[in-house]
Amino acid sequence: MAMARTGYSAVIEGDNVARAKANELPVSPKHSIEIARFIRGMTTAEAKAYLADVVEKKKAIPFKRFKRNVAHQRGLTGWAAGRYPVKAAEAYIRLLNSVETNAEYIGLDAENLRIDHVSANRGRILRAFFPRAMGRATPKRRETVNIEIIVTEVM
């Protein structure tokens, strides 16, 4: 019997710390990693507001690591390549709401939460096959991602 994956990659302890995690979301790992790098250090309110604009395709996420053949987008400062990862942004908004609820539950002020740690890494790949003509088949892969967020209350 396998143990549930409940550990966090960063150890941040204290009375003013809240955390949330989502395992094996059906979202692009590359998009998730770029969003994680971008929202690190923001407050949860800033991050949710920006990601809401990403979902509406008003603001872009700068792609700094997976930037090959990525077009330039308007509105990015200091970096040109960017995209609008809508599905990943929606997953992050849900997780940010979750971490805010967790913070409220332990008695923190949800208005003053700073994202200290956020990481996204590839989850399991769900494998299947497309049946093709003449008895052949091609594989199809569903990528998943594990995302974790740790916030601290700032005064």
Cα 52 from Cα 49, distance rounded (Å):
5
Which is it for strands 61-62 and 82-83: parallel, antiparallel or unpaired?
antiparallel
Residue-wise pLDDT tens digits, 9-55: 888 888 999 999 999 999 999 999 999 999 999 999 999 999 999 99
**Residue 18 tokens, joined:** 């809240």
**Cβ neighbours of residue 101 closer than 8 Å, sequence gap 6 or more:** none
Contact 104, 40 (CB under 8 A): no
What is the third-level CATH fold of 17-153? Ribosomal Protein L22; Chain A (3.90.470)
Give the chain's mean pLDDT.
94
Q: Which residues of 44-72 are buried (b: 16+ CB within 10 A; e: fewer)?
A: beebbebbeebbeeebbbbbeeeeeebee
This model's pTM is above 0.85? yes
Residue-wise pLDDT tens digits, 119-139: 999 999 999 999 999 999 999
The β-bridge partners of 142 are 126
Cα 132 from Cα 129, distance rounded (Å):
9
